[in-house]
Amino acid sequence: MQNQSSAEHNDPVTITLTDRLFDRLQRAIVEGEIASGSKISEPELARQHGVSRGSLREAIGRLEARKLVERKPNLGARVVTLSYEHLIEIYQIREALEGMAARLAAQHMSDNEIEELQTLLSEHGRQIEEQHGEAYFQKQGDLDFHYRIVQGSKNRHLIGLLCNDLYHLLRMYRYQFGMRSKRSRQAYDEHHYLLNAIISRDPEMAELLMRQHIRSSRRNVEKMLLEN
């Protein structure tokens, strides 16, 4: 699940104005530049970005589809309000969907893809040894690993759901709740078990391990948030 612009696999590289605007707004929201829960004034935002209200409106519509903003008729749009409960909901959905993705990946990934995944993972291992688990790189590494497995499912609908819809919401929580994982070593191990299940072409086991991995990640987050 790496950074990808909204040109998301759009063969014609024509980027429309609304596309760019959508990207910018999404980033601004995810990174908290536009505060969570705050109201969005169409005239103001349109002016700030030098664009007509019509185009802005379309961008907002897409943000709504990704559940980054909520809209009520005649009352306007607000940036979604983050909450502990909602974060848990997202983890439950991830557990179900990524579990299925791992199951499918064990069936459908090519030998070549599996090798690349292996390479990626040993690279992570090296990084962890070297810099004793520098948080940022490891977090990105986690995303890369999950991203490849999701892609490996070969289920385009599932890929879209996880990489387009859920991913950015999750990123928003990471940014704004300051979620740094202090368990990069454990995560790395769990990734390894999962990889072995995929190498063995064992769908059942792959799903099981992925679900455990996400559950333990969730427990980690829960603990971290209850400390604050």
Q: Applying CB under 7 A, which residues contact DNA?
A: 12, 14, 16-18, 39-44, 50-55, 57-58, 71, 73-77
Residue 141, interface with a copy of itself (CB under 8 A)? no
Q: Is 64 helix (H, G, I), strand (E, B) or coil?
A: helix
Residue 75, interface with a copy of itself (CB under 8 A)? yes
Eight-state DSSP code of residue 32: T
Q: Which is nearer to a copy of itself, 9 or 132 (CB)?
A: 9
Angle formed by the axes of helices 203-227 and 84-108, nearest 10°:
160
Residue 83, interface with a copy of itself (CB under 8 A)? no
- Name the residue with tokens 């910018």: 24
Using the rule CB under 8 A, which residue among 3, 14, 112, 228 binds a copy of itself?
14
Which positions from 87 to 106 touch a copy of itself by CB under 8 A, shown as an x/- string? --xx-xx-xxx-xx---x--
Q: How far is CA 132 from CA 137, 138, 191, 224, in A?
A: 11, 10, 17, 20
Using the rule CB under 8 A, which residue among 62, 146, 168, 191 binds a copy of itself?
62
In a 13 Å sphere around the CA of 43, the CA atoms on its Cβ side amount to: 0
Angle at 186 between CA 200 and CA 109, to 5 degrees: 30
44: partner contacted, choices a copy of itself, DNA, none (Cβ within 5-8 A by kind)? DNA
Residue 58, interface with a copy of itself (CB under 8 A)? yes
Q: Which amino acid is at 179?
A: M
- Segment contacting a copy of itself by CB under 8 A, of 8-16, 108-116, 140-148, 176-184: 8-16
Which residues are CB-contacts of 139 (< 8 A; sequence separation ≥ 6)? 174, 180, 181
Q: Which is nearer to a copy of itself, 11 or 111 (CB)?
A: 11
CA dihedral (75, 80, 82, 85) positive or negative: positive
H-helix or E-strand spanning residue 17? helix 17-30
Residue 82, interface with a copy of itself (CB under 8 A)? no
Using the rule CB under 8 A, which residue among 156, 182, 201, 219 binds a copy of itself?
156
Residue 51, interface with a copy of itself (CB under 8 A)? no
90: partner contacted, choices a copy of itself, DNA, none (Cβ within 5-8 A by kind)? a copy of itself
Which residues are CB-contacts of 119 (< 8 A; sequence separation ≥ 6)? none
Q: Which is nearer to DNA, 10 or 110 (CB)?
A: 10
As to burial, measured by CB atoms within 10 angstroms (0-12 exposed, 13-18 middle, 19+ buried), residue 87 is buried
Please report, as ranges, the residues that interact with a copy of itself according to CB under 8 A. Answer: 10-12, 14-16, 19, 54, 57-58, 61-62, 64-65, 67, 72-75, 86, 89-90, 92-93, 95-97, 99-100, 104, 155-158, 160-161
